[in-house]
Amino acid sequence: MSIAAFRYEFERYVAIIEQAFDQLDDAQLLKQPFPGGTSVTGLLTHASSFLTARFADLLSVDSNNRPWRDHQADLASTKSRAIVRSEWEVALATVRGELARLRDSDLGAPLRLGSHDPQPTLAEGLSRFGSHIAYHAGQIVSAARAILGSAWKPLAAKPLRQPLEHHLVTGAHGPIGVAVARPTGAGPHPAVIIGQEGLGVTGHLLGLAHRFAQAGYLAVVPDLYSRDLARRNLHETEVLAYLPLARNADPAAAIAALPERQQAAARRVVGWFAGRDTAAYAGDFAATLAWTGQRSDVRAQHLGAIGFSFGGGLVAQLAASGAPLAAAVVVYGQLPSAAQAAGLKAPVLGHFAGEDQAINANIPAFAEAVASRGGSFAHTIHPGTKHGFFSETRPVFDAAASERVWQSVLGFYATHLQARKAATAAASVVAEKR
């Protein structure tokens, strides 16, 4: 076996799973077509959990020691389509990122798999992992066919969309991983760097990279937590559930009020968030911008950035530093001070939640400072929305406001980044809804 051979077979199973999943509506995903069986939601939740656990830090961490894994809870999952798909995107990014770093010379290296004696080699582990995901692919296809009956459509064992590429970029304090979604057609293309929320790189952001690629942009998602082993040992579901406790006035009391079975996970999340080394993030984001501008398939004069919450603040800082951005978008991120606005060169578009006073308090001073220097800052505050409303995986998701933001961003980038597809993307979305 070679790394390339494993990757080829893995992507075939990914294509089969995604095509079967996409044929089912929300209610059908939760059906159990066989007595004592499992729903497609449960099967894909389990498959995502398996891949993330096995492949994260593949050669350096005992993948049997993942406190967040709960096989029975995964198989009984009733999560929404958006959350299941988000977890799947994270799992795929984990696998693809590790495969991009591995070489055939690593195949004889030992894996750490609990109490196995002797420990399997990487080649043996990949063989087992491939068989496992093939088994779940078969389960998902069988379940989907049973549910759909005559409505079932044949599958093609090839990806329906181009998989994300994974690269390493030299950041301010070491390498960081980046995911890249490339548009179709001949380049060079305008590019958009996507800044993560405090949660980290989520499946939602990876899906957003695909959306930008479909609109004609090369999209780059840097993982600013690449060197943070504590975060890599947390699951996205845990972080989503317990990160709000880290911002509580008394996190320890908030954790103590939880059911006992949840407290250990909450402590891990709160402890990780409090211990983050935030000093490197701005430098790593700037390094990603420089790396993107040097790619031969990118038009360096048409670089844009968009960030959400924590990432929105990084984008605003980057723009205020005078970085070579052609357009910057801040979505409920902290804006720089009026004094820092002096360095702003790129036009900035802002979208903010209506119920987010801590973030919105700085908007008037920043807007006034930009205007006084002849700069460009347009913004919208969306009434009735809360911080995080853009993401379909968050409880505060607002579909109408999220769509308004998306259409606004497409129009803004079409003006300043000149993507060939962007000018028609908004019109096509509207047409599809009619």
Full strand arrangement of the beta sheet holding 174-181: 165-171, 174-181, 218-222, 189-195, 298-308, 327-331, 348-355, 377-386
Q: Average pLDDT for residues 197-216, to the nearest whole number?
A: 94
pLDDT of residue 172: 80
Nearest to 413 by CA among 401, 426, 400: 426
Q: Of 212, 209, 217, 214, whose CA–CA distance to 188 is shortest?
A: 217
Taking all residues of the chain, what is their mean pLDDT, rounded to a whole number?
91
Q: How far apart are CA 330 and CA 379, in angstroms?
A: 9
Q: Which of 100, 99, 101 is nearest to 125 (CA)?
A: 99
Q: Which residue has the tokens 């299941």?
A: 84
Q: Whose CA is closest to 293, among 201, 413, 192, 382? A: 192
> Phi and psi for 121 in degrees, rounded to 5?
-80, 170
What pLDDT sits at residue 136? 96
Domain 3-151 superfamily per CATH: dinb family like domain (1.20.120.450)
The pLDDT tens digits of the residues spanning 226-274 come to 988 888 888 888 888 899 898 888 999 999 999 998 999 999 999 999 9
Nearest residue to 324 via CA among 306, 301, 307, 341: 301
Structure-block tokens of residue 74: 């995964």
Q: How far is CA 194 from CA 49, 62, 116, 191, in A?
A: 25, 31, 40, 10
Just give the CATH number of 165-226+278-433.
3.40.50.1820
Q: What is the mean pLDDT of residues 396-407?
A: 97
- Identify whether the C-beta of residue 351 lies closer than 8 Å to the C-beta of residue 379: yes
pLDDT at position 429 is 41
Domains in the chain: boundaries: 3-151, 165-226+278-433, 229-274
For strand 348-355 and strand 327-331, is the pairing parallel, antiparallel, or unpaired?
A: parallel
Taking residues 98-102, what's their average pLDDT? 91
In 3D space, the residue among 215, 276, 273 whose CA is nearest the CA of residue 239 turns out to be 273
Token digits for 369? 């400072």
Q: Is the pLDDT of residue 423 over 80?
A: no
Query: What pLDDT, in 10s, does the model give residues 120-139?
Result: 899 999 999 999 999 999 99
Answer whether residue 426 shows pLDDT above 60: no
Residue 277 pLDDT more than 90? no
pLDDT at 418: 81
pLDDT band for position 95 (cuts 50, 70, 90): very high
* Residue of 356 and 67 predicted with greater confidence: 356
Q: How far apart are CA 256 and CA 250, in angstroms?
A: 10
More confident residue, 429 or 139: 139
Q: Is the confidence at residue 428, as pLDDT, over 80?
A: no
pLDDT at 421: 56
The residue count of the chain comes to 434
* 217, pLDDT greater than 50: yes
pLDDT of residue 179 exceeding 90, the answer is: yes
Mean local confidence (pLDDT), 316-333? 96
The arithmetic mean of pLDDT across residues 161-183, rounded, is: 91
Nearest to 142 by CA among 33, 10, 14, 41: 33
Bridge partner residues of 331 (DSSP): 308, 351
Report pLDDT for 271. Answer: 94
Whole-number pLDDT of residue 187: 83
Question: Which pLDDT score, from 0 to 100, does residue 353 have?
Answer: 98
Q: How far is CA 403 from the centre of its chain?
A: 18
Separation of alpha carbons 368 and 193, rounded Å: 27
